Amino acid sequence: MLIVKKFGGSSVADKDRIMNVARRCIEEYKKGHEVVVVLSAMGDTTDDLIAKAKEINPTPPKREMDMLLVTGEQMSVALLSIALDALGVPAVALNAFQVAMHTTSVHGNARLKRIDTERIQHELDDKKIVVITGFQGMDKYDDFTTLGRGGSDTTAVALAAALHADLCEIYTDVDGVYTADPRVVPNARKLEEITYDEMLDMATLGAKVLHNRSVELAKKYDVQLVVRSSLNENEGTVVKEEVEVEKKLISGVAADKNAARISLIGVEDKPGIAFKVFNMLAKENINIDIILQSVGRDGTKDISFTVEKDCLDEAIQIIEKNKDKMTAQKVESERGVAKVSIVGAGMMTDPGVAAKMFEALYNEGINIKMISTSEIRITVLIDELDADRATRAVHNAFKLEE
Amino acid sequence: MLIVKKFGGSSVADKDRIMNVARRCIEEYKKGHEVVVVLSAMGDTTDDLIAKAKEINPTPPKREMDMLLVTGEQMSVALLSIALDALGVPAVALNAFQVAMHTTSVHGNARLKRIDTERIQHELDDKKIVVITGFQGMDKYDDFTTLGRGGSDTTAVALAAALHADLCEIYTDVDGVYTADPRVVPNARKLEEITYDEMLDMATLGAKVLHNRSVELAKKYDVQLVVRSSLNENEGTVVKEEVEVEKKLISGVAADKNAARISLIGVEDKPGIAFKVFNMLAKENINIDIILQSVGRDGTKDISFTVEKDCLDEAIQIIEKNKDKMTAQKVESERGVAKVSIVGAGMMTDPGVAAKMFEALYNEGINIKMISTSEIRITVLIDELDADRATRAVHNAFKLEE
């Protein structure tokens, strides 16, 4: 069996943790499996490097920044390889150049294009554990790139796809994917299985276990993922295409407090206005999430949408500057909001799910500001202060702890 | 003009020093010169990385160790490139893979074989300052290598040769090459010029300004070297093939306290014994320096030689184990010795030089234990405690301060 194992920065933060990771890799190796390990930079290394660069230059050139940051993962892989040798197992550390991990040239946010597997295969044939830098790649100009947030997860999944691995294990500091954040809902239950689509919605909607880019990739190449803890031997959660039939309607509740609402009031009711607004914001890299457009009234309509809290001020500035083009009579905004979502492939077939969610919120006296739905997801926008209470109420209503 | 500038680890140890290096590079760039910069790892980075690895594994595999260590220079070059950008000058940082700095596969002590100049030339044509990692290379298996002690100097000289640079400046924390160590001989004089051969002898004999491998390379490819300080604007010392005719007999006095003496007493006077002894030590990587063999007496002779202090115990062990093969009646050793040498291309033509040196030592009451000479060098082995006094006496005798 060929297994790709990915460990995050906190799992390799110091000597003892590196030895722990080495031991876990050796367990599988001794069973006769082929093992490929993907690592992030140790602990706070990446943040420290960014701080060092910004002290010298508040706006460091992105190519040079990538050149700096990739040293972090290279240190991790070299040290793990040295640790594996100390435990008597041959290992080899490889960076993005040595593997040939081809990406686009967008420094700081590159996309993987192609991974050469020849060198890795050759080292596996030599009975070595192969330790590979996550998060980084090389572009067609022979320059280092980095993959942006969640990059190491993406590297691991992409490697698993390229190597036709039997399994891709993402080790993190939680046991797996839960029906809700266990810090908010004490009786949240760990899921044994979840589908790619459900996981995608959970990731996008605030469950921080896996980055959605890596889930998309796993779905595309049908890579079987397992999310599990590097701190214990618990089984974790399997992410795959189809899960068992007797499963529940709802897989989990996700809450995202990093949201703010903007409303354009009294926009002219003619085609193209919404396009103009969102195009303007997209150009400045401001991501729009839930969008709601009211039916027209007196020839005008209202457009509401959410953005990340950090982007609110910038978004408002852009809109105020272009208020005339947008024909908006008034711009309103609200910072203290949160999204609470239920996710589940089963809800497609059950019209009562939305009603049950709204009822649970009504019983708690929680006011819903906006609603957005997809086939496998219902999201409500509520007051940020109500978020934890809403999560618990919905979790209880669907008996997810059972 | 194309200039290669090399800065050591202490010159880039922190933010302020990196900015200082950036400013010095920009001075030449603004004059219209093409500038290639070679850097070592910042301050104690390399030692810190070695310590980290040894904590995990006391005998880390050398390939993985090189993989770890090369991150040090990559950080330096990225940060300098970021600093140059902050000062408004376009720059690009390149590592050994990006340049294609081909070496042998001896990890930890590789030799440069070939440097591709295409990428560097292309970046220079783009009006960029090109910042390149010193000390490191890549081998034919696409693995990182390191060049061993003085490696960054070697990188700089090799790059200057490959690029046909007009000048290779080695920046260090001293002003240049002195007639003797200024800490020992307060009136030691900075040399304006010195030949490659003299510099080689000075380097080998204890003057720590330049590593001899880099001087050998400079001589081979006729690269004009300048040794100067990164802390001031002083002119430095030019190292080249021929220096002005009216030069002094003697260029300088070098002292090396890192020496120990071993003597094999009463060795059989037959061919091949000396070969056996030195071959045995060479196999264990113990470098032999001065060798002295006495004339035979009663069918036996004495063989004396010096080794580095650190190697004395190991050398004695090897010899004791093989005493019979060596036919030695007795093995003697002495740890507290030093080599003091005078170096100068002029001495070839003047038979009085040796006599003058010995007279100076006699006047100081310093006993000479061994003598070794070459065409441009005279070395004496004396008591370690006499080394500084001997250096001053010889310096004065030849009036090197003038």
CB contact under 8 A, A82 and B98: no
Query: Among residues of chain B, what percentage have pLDDT more than 70?
Result: 95
Final residue of a structural domain among A120, A143, A172? A172
Do A260 and A162 share a structural domain? no
Per the structure, the complete domain to which residue A290 belongs is given by 253-397
CB B77 within 8 A of CB B93: yes
CB B159 within 8 A of CB B151: no
Number of domains making up chain A: 2
Give me the CATH number covering residue A311.
3.30.2130.10
CB contact under 8 A, A82 and B91: no
To probe the interface with A, which of B18, B68, B92, B122 has the most A CB atoms within 10 Å? Answer: B68
Final residue of a structural domain among A172, A206, A226? A172
CB contact under 8 A, B75 and A49: yes
Instruction: With a cut of 90, say whether residue B304 has pLDDT above it.
Output: no
Asked whether residue A202 is domain-assigned, the answer is no
Asked whether residue A135 is domain-assigned, the answer is yes
Asked whether residue A108 is domain-assigned, the answer is yes
Residues making up the annotated binding site of B are: 6-9, 46, 73, 172-173, 178, 183, 208-209
Beta carbons within 8 Å of B140's beta carbon, 6+ residues apart: B102, B105
In b/e form, how buried is each residue of A165-198, taking b as 16+ CB within 10 angstroms?
A: bebbbbbbebbbbbbbbeebbeebbbbebbbbbb
The minimum CA-CA distance between A102 and chain B, rounded to whole Å, is 14
Q: Tens of pLDDT along B223-241? A: 999 999 988 888 899 998 8
Nearest CA in chain A to B90: A61
pLDDT of residue A296: 63
CB A239 within 8 A of CB A215: yes
Do A277 and A128 share a structural domain? no
Nearest CA in chain A to B69: A75
pLDDT of residue A204: 63
pLDDT of residue B123: 97
The minimum CA-CA distance between A221 and chain B, rounded to whole Å, is 29
Nearest CA in chain B to A56: B83
* B86, B92, B119 ranked by CB distance to A57: nearest: B86
Final residue of a structural domain among A150, A172, A194? A172
Asked whether residue A349 is domain-assigned, the answer is yes
Do A257 and A168 share a structural domain? no
A231 residue type, one letter:
L
Asked whether residue B342 is domain-assigned, the answer is no
Asked whether residue B13 is domain-assigned, the answer is yes
pLDDT of residue A304: 86
Do A160 and A14 share a structural domain? yes
Q: Tens of pLDDT along B166-218? A: 999 999 888 888 888 888 888 888 888 888 988 888 776 656 678 888 998 99
CB contact under 8 A, A74 and B67: yes
pLDDT of residue B219: 92
CB contact under 8 A, B60 and A92: no
Do A143 and A267 share a structural domain? no
Give me the CATH number covering residue A79.
3.40.1160.10
CB contact under 8 A, A61 and B71: no
Do A393 and A298 share a structural domain? yes
Do A151 and A35 share a structural domain? yes
pLDDT of residue A377: 84
Nearest to B98 by CA among B147, B151, B150, B136: B136
Instruction: With a cut of 60, say whether residue B245 has pLDDT above it.
Output: no
Asked whether residue A340 is domain-assigned, the answer is yes
Contacts of B78 in chain A (CB under 8 A): 53, 64-65, 67-68, 71
To probe the interface with B, which of A59, A64, A141 has the most B CB atoms within 10 Å? Answer: A64
Do A155 and A14 share a structural domain? yes
pTM of the full structure? 0.80
Asked whether residue B114 is domain-assigned, the answer is yes
Q: Tens of pLDDT along B76-125? A: 999 999 999 999 999 999 999 999 999 999 999 899 999 999 999 999 99
3-state secondary structure chain B: CEEEEEECHHHHCCHHHHHHHHHHHHHHHHCCCEEEEEECCCCCHHHHHHHHHHHHCCCCCHHHHHHHHHHHHHHHHHHHHHHHHHCCCCEEEECHHHHCEEECCCCCCCCEEEECCHHHHHHHHCCCEEEEECCEEECCCCCEEECCCCHHHHHHHHHHHHCCCCEEEEEECCCCCECCCCCCCCCCCECCEEEHHHHHHHHHCCCCCCCHHHHHHHHHHCCCEEEEECCCCCCCEEEECCCCCCCCCCCEEEEEEEEEEEEEEEEECCCCHHHHHHHHHHHCCCCCCCEEECCCECCEEEEEEEECHHHHHHHHHHHHHCHHHHCCCEEEEEEEEEEEEEECHHHHHCCHHHHHHHHHHHHCCCCCCEEEEECCEEEEEEEHHHHHHHHHHHHHHCCCCC
Separation between Cα atoms, residue A86 and residue B59, nearest integer Å: 8
Separation between Cα atoms, residue A170 and residue A227, nearest integer Å: 5
Token digits of residue B60: 């880390």
Low-confidence ranges of chain A (pLDDT < 70): 203-208, 243-248, 295-297, 348-349, 351
ipTM score assigned to the predicted complex: 0.79
pLDDT of residue A34: 97
Nearest CA in chain B to A20: B56
Do A41 and A164 share a structural domain? yes
